[in-house]
Every structure is written in structure tokens, then in C-alpha cells.
Structure 1
Amino acid sequence: MVRLGDFGVSTVFFSPSSFVTSRIFHNYPLISALMAFSLSQSLKFFTAWFKERRCDLKLLIGSGGMPSSHSATVTALALAIGFQDGFDSSLFAASTVFASIVMYDASGVRLHAGKQAEILNQMVYELPPEHPLAETSPLQELLGHTPLQVVVGAILGFTTAAITHLIRLTFMLS
């Protein structure tokens, strides 16, 4: 048993195993972020399934594509923190700054790294077979997101956080 009252935190008694399993399912920001991630990755998978009739399980965990799971996840996390702790809280401010950095990086640096990988792969493909680099494994090209993919991911994250907040309020009031 650990007593947290000695550390300036409200007094709580818990055993580590029961605390983790019972409290983790009540962590609204975490649940909201994980749901947004799962939804965005599932959308990528089902979009490929319906448009191209291909079953690519890598889309369930891979980066890149529509919508941006990075944007959806960090937006849902930031908004859920805002709903829970207040939009004037320091934690909301910090999570919003980090969300902005992640979204900027997804549509900036990582997008351009993916475009460079495309060019490098094409250059290697055009090498003669006897060239030492001709057998080089191709670089991953789908790394970043277009601005539209980032915006759609952010909208998905916002929607997920809002819906989970309404569900949470419904259970709190009943």
C-alpha cells in the first residue's frame, strides 16, 4: 500500500495492481486519444479495402495517409484534457502546444522526408543491376501527411473528444 498524502496529493490508498486496472479505464483523456487513434487507423484500412479491394493490415499501425492518426490522437488528447481540467489549465495549454508541434511536423518535415524517399527509391531503381546499391531495400515513402490529411485528422480528434465527453457526462449525471 502507498499513501500519497505525504507528497502533497490528496490522500489515496491503493495497491499497485488494483489501482492501475481500475483507474486506467477512467482516464478520459487517454481513452479519448486511443479511440481517435483506433478510428483513424481503421478508416485508413477500410478506405483501402473499399477503394482498392486490398487487405493491408499494415495500415492499422502504419503512419501516413488519410486521415492523420497523429493529428486525431493529439487533438483528442488536448481537447479531452480541456474538457476535464478546463480550457484555462496549464495542462491544456501544454497539450495544445505539443499537439501543434506534432501536426506541424506531420505535414512538414515528415511529409518532405517521404517525398525525398520517393526520389531516392526511383534513383536506386534506375541503377544498373551491377551497381553496388542496386539491391538496396526501398525506403518507406508514406511518412508524413498533406495539410488536408492533418486537418481531417484534427476534425476526427475533435469529434471523438466531444462525443466521449458527452458520453462521460451522461454516465456522470445518471
Structure 2
Amino acid sequence: MTEPTLGRHFREQQSNPQAGADRPGMFAGASHFSMVNPQFQSATNIQNIQNSYHTWNTNDVFAIRKWLKAPDPSTNFVAACDKRTPGTGEWIFSHPQFVEWREATSGTLWIQGKVGSGKTFLSTAIIENLQANQAFLCCYYYFDNRDNSQTKTNARGLLQSLLLQMATRDETVHPALHELYRSCF
């Protein structure tokens, strides 16, 4: 994606949060979603969120991960890191709209482009950049049509993966997810 295209889509997303929702194939089959008391967490709240996690028995953590069956986006991330030439996509870190997005406490950075235009490598560079700063909770996902299990091709896989990334840290699990797991068995 070229820099001007990135800017146009970023502006579209800022002025219309529903931009892209009417595009064919965008979360096909997904319906009846609603948000109750939606809020974005700022980087200053990350420590408070992390303090609410509890260390459980390693078997419980493993069982919860197995139960959720969330696709693992780290396989795509590692594959992209291995293929990416050092320095690729780093132009975005000085792009004014990226800087504005990164410094904001909420918002969406929309990256769109044709197949093979470099979205995966650009996204991977951004993820690496965000992960370098421990103040950020960086959750990510790669839609992947080449995934044989087909779990990385739909909204369900996205939601399962994001839930697992937000609710687990190493050998800790957020109590809400632990309680949900326990209520299902």
C-alpha cells in the first residue's frame, strides 16, 4: 500500500467508523453483534488490567487454551518476520497519520491494499514496533485463506484469538475467562 492510500483509508475510518462494514465478504455470515458499555483501554490502564490476572494451575491454562480453540496468529507473524527484509515498511513509523494514531488512546489504523501489495509485511513491522513498548497491550490477527483448518478465515477465529490474547498472559488467565470456562463444564 502506498503512503497516500494509507492516509485516505485512515481518514475514511476516522470520519466513518463503519467504513468498510458494507464491503462484500467483510465478516461474511456475522450478524447480531452489539457492544455494551464499549470503551478503549489507554496504555495507562494496562498495568491495572494486568494486575487482575491470576496464576492458575498450568493444566487449567492449557485446558482453557484447548477449550477455546483459538487460531494462533503468531505462526503468521513468525513466517512474515522470517520473510521480511530488514527495514521493509519502516517508513510508516514516521508517517504523520501513523504517529497520530500511535499517540492516541483509541482509534483504528486501517490498512488496505491489493493482494501482494505488502500489507502483511507492513502489519508485521507495526506489530514488532508496538511489542517493543511494554506499555502497550498488543493483540493482533492475520486472516489467512491458506490456512488448512479454515479457522483463520472468519470472524469467529478473530474473536477467539483476540479473547485468548487479551485474557491470558504466560501462565496467567483473567478470572472472567476462568469463570466462563468453569461454568461450561
User: Is the shorter-chain TM-score for this pair beyond 0.5, marking a shared fold?
Assistant: no
The structure showing larger relative contact order (alpha-carbon pairs under 8 Å, at least 6 residues apart) is 2
Q: Which has the larger radius of gyration?
A: 1
Provide TM-score, normalisation by structure 1: 0.26
Provide TM-score, normalisation by structure 2: 0.25
Q: Give the structure with the larger helix fraction.
A: 1
